[in-house]
Amino acid sequence: MEKDLRRCVGCRQIRPKSDFWRIVRLYPSGAVQLDTGQGRAAYLCPQASCLKAARHKNRLGRALKATIPDGLYAQLDERLTGLGKSLSELGDDFS
């Protein structure tokens, strides 16, 4: 059986589709959402470095040919937090 391979927009690694988060620009509304829906899709490894690369260089936006709302990145940040450490806790409190 052939595997369904996809490429991460952050690190460019190719992996099975099931290893990735799926971000989809819905057709025909153009709304961007996670996981499900018909339209143009992009894939991202569930890890902070890939999320950061996809966001800071707008690779995700370019892959989808759409503007990615901040809320969507916030959702992905939340998923990362659920998996491990919170990005917001990485700031230092020393003065």
Q: How far apart are CA 50 and CA 29, in angstroms?
A: 27
Query: Least separation, in Å, of the C-beta of 47 and Zn ion?
Result: 7
| Long-range pairs for 36-40: beta carbons < 8 A, 24 or more residues apart | 40/64, 40/65, 40/66
Nearer to Zn ion, 8 or 66 (CB): 8
Which among 7-15, 29-37, 57-65, 79-87 is the span making contact with Zn ion, rule CB under 5 A?
7-15
User: Does residue 63 bind Zn ion (CB under 5 A)?
Assistant: no
Binding status of residue 41 toward Zn ion by CB under 5 A? no
Helices and strands (DSSP H and E) totals, the chain: 3, 5
- Contact residues toward Zn ion (CB under 5 A) are 8, 10-11, 45, 50
